[in-house]
Amino acid sequence: FFGSRSTVTERNPVFSTINADDIAQFKEILGEKYVIQDEERLLAANTDWMRKYKGSSKLLLQPRSTAEVSQILKYCNSRCLAVVPQGGNTGLVGGSVPVFDEVSGVLVCEAGCILENLVSFLDNQGFIMPLDLGAKGSCQIGGNVSTNAGGLRFVRYGSLHGNVLGRRVWADTFRDGSLELSRIPLETMAIVAHFVSVSKRTSSMSVHVGSLEAVLANGTVLDMLGTLRKDNTGYDLKHLFIGSEGSLGIVTKISILAPPKLSSVNLAFLACKDYVSCQNLLLEAKRKLGEILSAFEFLDGNSMDLANVLILGTNIYVHASREKLEAFLLRSMEGGLISDGVLAQDMNQALSFWRIREGVPEALMKAGAVYKYDLSLPVEKMYDLVEAMRIRLGPAAEVIGYGHLGDGNLHLNISLPEYNDNVLAQIEPFVYEWTSKHRGSISAEHGLGLMKANKIHYSRSPESMASVTKWNQLNREELPLGASEEVFMVEKKIILS
Ligand code: FAD
Ligand code: MLT
Ligand code: ZN
């Protein structure tokens, strides 16, 4: 492992070890080219974005169809081989890397559309991807859905639970004007993209991308597509897959509701003298800008320093329509909520503002080791934790706070030259206990991964944890989901079973 003791995970002895017969079987299913044993490529797949978790998988599989995913999983299930789905490998909680020391798991490299390609594709069609995040150039939509990623537009468009559709989108009404996604020149497109079609509904203002389908660990293809607008026959299963981080199966097809492009987009980069002013500004922005507010991000002075930007004070972004925004800014300046600021003059300037905000995680990575916490907290309490942590750690580490203020989501990051177990002991469990005491969530948008798999109790009651366990037991014993062993098959998620 690269990180400190927090990244060490024991392998579950239930799983078998991969052998030559297994590899031959995979080659038969996928063809030689898609069964990767090349050390360099394996190293990349075995290492997470933060270079904190390191796996030892000896095999990377690149299936190109749902049928291939199904065959692979069926085989792995019969041999009891561990599988880790991987999308763009940009997850921040060590969820996409197989971390087990000696024994190789099988890394099923579930691919898909790179988020940025979807964003620009939709933009060209006059629509918006309701999801946007700094990792858009690498992360894949399958990974986004599996982590229920939040990102920069959540304040307006909400969670993927609301945007991922569970019905067929290529019903007759959508056929007119439909476009095959495979026409977009995406060099990295793989399995999801082979199936996803982007349909443009000409008769109204919305577009739906693909649809949600998943393959369970025993190979069963779970078709959660439907043609009906309303369907209350039992559970809405797709929601279990959104945010389940690969623990229930591999997502192979997705449907996302994309709203029409806005006629104008404006961005202001503002400085407030303290955190209380930021809070008040958010309140005012919600009141006065209402539905035209599509992002409200926050960076503290330390984040800005780290991103090498010479703007002092506490900074926030507000993303809204120009006329209303100008009036709002004027009032907020007069009222003393804003001490300085700039309204982007054109798209290039707006993009350069966003690059500052989106560049913070990368700047942190470059600065050395980082302990990263992704918390939901009441907005009025949020920055107290950053300050409490600064007092607690003293000069031993740099404590920085940024995040999605509009959603009550703090990214608390502790940066130091290298991982240090003594510092970690000062941070944890303090950070989790503090969050729990204030009825927050220890995982706002990044998921649990390996990092927080055994920390669920800080945010979930014993009763709700017991009901997940119960559900898994029922799932194995009684439910006709073909779910007999799939919860076990995804090794890193064993905590849920
Ligand atoms: P991976 O990292 O490959 O996998 C993530 C998890 O999903 C793993 O548990 C993996 O096993 C599982 N998985 C992947 N694909 C599938 C599939 N098809 N079926 C089943 N399981 C699957 N996250 C946010 O929420 N908001 C942000 O604003 C944000 N910004 C980021 C900025 C940067 C610079 C970086 C590096 C990361 C950021 N993230 C953010 C975290 C990360 O990008 C998201 O979690 C993203 O959704 C992960 O997608 P991925 O394709 O890289 O998935
Ligand atoms: C962000 O908002 O920048 C991401 O969630 C990544 C991070 O928390 O560092
Ligand atoms: Zn974030």
Q: CA 349 to CA 331: how far, in whole Å?
A: 23
The answer to whether position 490 is within a domain reads no
Determine the atom of ligand 1 nearest the C-alpha atom of 214.
19
The answer to whether position 463 is within a domain reads no
What number is the average pLDDT over the span 78-98? Answer: 79
Q: Are strands 179-180 and 59-61 parallel, antiparallel or unpaired?
A: unpaired
How large a percentage of the chain has pLDDT more than 70?
Answer: 74
The answer to whether position 51 is within a domain reads yes
pLDDT at 170: 27
DSSP letter for 493, please. G
Phi, psi of 372 (to 5 degrees): -115, 130
What number is the average pLDDT over the span 446-471? Answer: 84
Separation of first and last alpha carbons in the chain: 25
Per-residue pLDDT reduced to its tens digit, 213-245: 888 888 998 877 554 556 677 777 888 888 989
The answer to whether position 407 is within a domain reads yes
Entry field: residues in the chain: 497
Q: CA 316 to CA 299: how far, in whole Å?
A: 6
Assign residue 15 the CATH number of its domain.
3.30.43.10
Q: Is 449 in the pocket of ligand 2 (CB under 6 A)?
A: no
Exposed / middle / buried, residue 464 (Cβ in 10 Å: 0-12, 13-18, 19+): exposed
Please indicate whether residue 280 or residue 65 has the higher confidence score (pLDDT).
Answer: 280
- Residue 446 Cα to ligand 3 middle (Å): 8
Name the residue range of residue 297's domain: 266-451
Say if residue 146 is in the same domain as residue 231: yes
DSSP letter for 10, please. P
pLDDT at 255: 73
Q: Is the pLDDT of residue 139 over 50?
A: yes
DSSP letter for 61, please. E
pLDDT at 175: 27
pLDDT at 213: 80
Where a domain ends, among 223, 258, 293?
A: 258
The answer to whether position 465 is within a domain reads no
Determine the atom of ligand 2 nearest the C-alpha atom of 357.
3
- Got the DSSP string for 391-457? HHHGGGSEEEEEEEGGGTEEEEEEEESS--HHHHHHHTTHHHHHHHHTT-BSBSSS--TTTTGGGGG
What type of residue sits at position 461? S
Say if residue 10 is in the same domain as residue 123: no
**Which of 356, 366, 374, 452 should be mutated for ligand 2, with most atoms under 8 A from CB?**
374
Q: Is the pLDDT of residue 187 over 60?
A: no
- Residue 341 Cα to ligand 1 middle (Å): 32
Say if residue 61 is in the same domain as residue 169: no
Considering just the CA atoms, what is the radius of gyration of the chain in Å?
23
Q: Is 112 in the pocket of ligand 2 (CB under 6 A)?
A: no
- Residue 173 Cα to ligand 3 middle (Å): 36
Closest among 271, 449, 262 to 372, alpha carbons compared: 449
Lowest mean pLDDT among 88-97, 196-205, 436-445: 196-205
For residue 205, CA distances in Å to 134, 185, 257 come to 27, 25, 11
Q: Is 247 in the pocket of ligand 1 (CB under 6 A)?
A: no
Lowest mean pLDDT among 51-55, 363-367, 380-384: 51-55
Say if residue 319 is in the same domain as residue 214: no
Q: Is 29 in the pocket of ligand 1 (CB under 6 A)?
A: no
pLDDT at 316: 62
Assign residue 375 the CATH number of its domain.
3.30.70.2190
Lowest mean pLDDT among 112-121, 219-228, 263-272: 219-228
Q: Is the pLDDT of residue 137 over 90?
A: yes
**pLDDT-derived band of residue 75, with 50, 70 and 90 as boundaries?**
very high
What number is the average pLDDT over the span 138-147? Answer: 90
**pLDDT-derived band of residue 300, with 50, 70 and 90 as boundaries?**
very high
Say if residue 270 is in the same domain as residue 240: no
Q: Give the full edge-to-edge strand order of the sheet including 398-404.
A: 340-343, 266-272, 314-320, 295-299, 398-404, 409-416, 369-376
What number is the average pLDDT over the span 177-200? Answer: 24
**pLDDT-derived band of residue 65, with 50, 70 and 90 as boundaries?**
confident
Nearest CA to ligand 1 atom 15: 143
HSE (side-chain half, CA atoms, 13 Å) at 1:
18
Q: Are strands 106-108 and 59-61 parallel, antiparallel or unpaired?
A: parallel
**pLDDT-derived band of residue 7, with 50, 70 and 90 as boundaries?**
low
Say if residue 181 is in the same domain as residue 166: yes
**pLDDT-derived band of residue 475, with 50, 70 and 90 as boundaries?**
very low
The answer to whether position 480 is within a domain reads no
Where a domain ends, among 57, 78, 111?
A: 111
Structure tokens at 152: 């920069």
Say if residue 94 is in the same domain as residue 237: no
Structure tokens at 166: 């569970």
The answer to whether position 458 is within a domain reads no
Say if residue 211 is in the same domain as residue 186: yes
Assign residue 157 the CATH number of its domain.
3.30.465.10
Question: Into how many domains does the chain fold?
Answer: 3
Q: How crowded is residue 345: how many other Cβ atoms within 10 Å of its Cβ?
A: 9
Residues 6+ away with beta carbon under 8 Å from 153 = 128, 130, 131, 132, 294, 295
Per-residue pLDDT reduced to its tens digit, 304-344: 888 764 333 345 666 767 788 888 889 998 999 998 888 88
Q: How crowded is residue 316: how many other Cβ atoms within 10 Å of its Cβ?
A: 25
Burial 233-253 (b: 16+ CB within 10 A, else e): eeeeebbbbbbbbbbbbbbbb
Structure tokens at 47: 């290492």
Report yes or no: 470 and 462 within 8 Å, Cβ to Cβ.
no
- Residue 130 Cα to ligand 3 middle (Å): 15
Per-residue pLDDT reduced to its tens digit, 268-297: 898 888 999 999 999 999 998 887 888 999
Say if residue 123 is in the same domain as residue 86: no
For residue 113, CA distances in Å to 182, 209, 419, 490 come to 10, 11, 34, 23
Report yes or no: 141 and 254 within 8 Å, Cβ to Cβ.
yes
Where a domain ends, among 258, 284, 299?
A: 258
Say if residue 174 is in the same domain as residue 248: yes
pLDDT at 450: 87
pLDDT at 74: 93
Report yes or no: 299 and 402 within 8 Å, Cβ to Cβ.
yes
For residue 463, CA distances in Å to 25, 305, 427 come to 43, 44, 27
pLDDT at 489: 30
Say if residue 124 is in the same domain as residue 93: no
Lowest mean pLDDT among 13-22, 432-441, 477-486: 477-486
pLDDT at 412: 98
The answer to whether position 123 is within a domain reads yes
Per-residue pLDDT reduced to its tens digit, 161-186: 876 654 332 222 222 222 222 222 22
Say if residue 386 is in the same domain as residue 320: yes
